[in-house]
Amino acid sequence: MKIKLIGVLVFYLLVHGVYAQKVGLTIGEAIDKAFQGNPKVKLADLKIGKEESFRIASMNFSSPEVIFEAPTGEQLRPGLLQTFDFPGQYVRRYQAQNKVAELTETQKLNVLNELRYQVRVAFNELQYLREVEKAYIQQDSLLTDFLNITEVRLSVGQISAIERMNALSQSREIKYQLNQVRFRERTALLELSLVLGMPGDTSWVISDDFQPVQIPDIISMNLINNPEILIGKKNLELSEARWRAERSGWMPGFVIGYLNQSPIQMQTRYSMRYGFTVPLWFFNQSSRVRTAKNEIFIAQQEQTTIDYSITGKVNNAVSTLNQFNEALNYYQNTGLGMASEIATMARDAYRIGSIGYYNYLLNLQQVEKIRLGYLEALKNFNQSVFTIQLLKAE
The CATH number covering residue 205 comes to: 1.20.1600.10
**pLDDT surpassing 80 at residue 375:** yes
| Residue 1: inside a domain | no
Cα 277 to Cα 162: distance, rounded to the nearest angstrom: 101
Residue 378 has a pLDDT of 93
How does residue 277 score in pLDDT terms, banded at 50, 70 and 90?
confident
Residue 163 has a pLDDT of 64
| Residue 371: inside a domain | yes
| Residue 250: inside a domain | yes
Phi, psi of 270 (to 5 degrees): -110, 150
Percent of the chain whose pLDDT exceeds 90 = 14
Residue 179 has a pLDDT of 87
Encode pLDDT of 219-237 as tens digits: 667 788 888 899 999 989 8
Phi, psi of 80 (to 5 degrees): -140, 135
Cα 363 to Cα 142: distance, rounded to the nearest angstrom: 12
Q: Which has the higher per-residue pLDDT, 311 or 89?
A: 311
Q: Which has the higher per-residue pLDDT, 1 or 344?
A: 344
Cα 195 to Cα 160: distance, rounded to the nearest angstrom: 54
Residue 147 has a pLDDT of 67
| Residue 5: inside a domain | no
**pLDDT surpassing 70 at residue 271:** yes
Of the listed ranges 9-18, 75-84, 150-159, 171-180, the one predicted with least confidence: 9-18
> What is the chain's mean pLDDT, rounded?
80
| Residue 9: inside a domain | no
Q: Which has the higher per-residue pLDDT, 337 or 277?
A: 337
How does residue 12 score in pLDDT terms, banded at 50, 70 and 90?
very low
How does residue 20 score in pLDDT terms, banded at 50, 70 and 90?
very low
Residue 210 has a pLDDT of 85
| Residue 55: inside a domain | yes
Residue 329 has a pLDDT of 92
Residue 24 has a pLDDT of 67
Nearest to 363 by CA among 134, 137, 146: 146
Encode pLDDT of 51-69 as tens digits: 887 777 777 777 888 888 7
3-class DSSP state for residue 201?
coil
| Residue 158: inside a domain | yes
**pLDDT surpassing 60 at residue 2:** no
Residues 6+ away with beta carbon under 8 Å from 235: 103, 299, 302, 303
How does residue 366 score in pLDDT terms, banded at 50, 70 and 90?
confident
On the CB side of 95, CA atoms within 13 Å amount to 16
| Residue 8: inside a domain | no
Of the listed ranges 26-35, 53-62, 261-270, 297-306, the one predicted with least confidence: 261-270
Residue 377 has a pLDDT of 93
Q: What is the mean pLDDT of residues 368-372?
A: 89
Residue 350 has a pLDDT of 74
Q: What strand order describes the sheet that includes 77-84?
A: 65-69, 77-84, 254-260, 270-276
Q: How many domains does the chain contain in total?
A: 1
Of the listed ranges 62-66, 163-167, 197-201, 206-210, the one predicted with least confidence: 163-167
The answer to whether the beta carbons of residues 167 and 153 sit under 8 Å apart is no
Q: Which has the higher per-residue pLDDT, 338 or 157?
A: 338
How does residue 296 score in pLDDT terms, banded at 50, 70 and 90?
confident
Q: Which domain holds residue 159?
A: 17-392
